[in-house]
Structure 1
Amino acid sequence: MRQLSIIESELARAIQFGQWAENPACITKLRTIAIDHGIDIVESMNGGYEDDEK
Structure 2
Amino acid sequence: MSKREPNFEELVALRDVLIEALPNTCVDDLTSVAVEHAKAVRAAFDELSKTEITE
- The answer to whether the superposition gives a TM-score over 0.5 is no
Normalised TM-score (structure 2): 0.41
Structure showing greater Rg: 2
Q: Which has the higher helix share?
A: 2
TM-score, reference length from structure 1 = 0.41
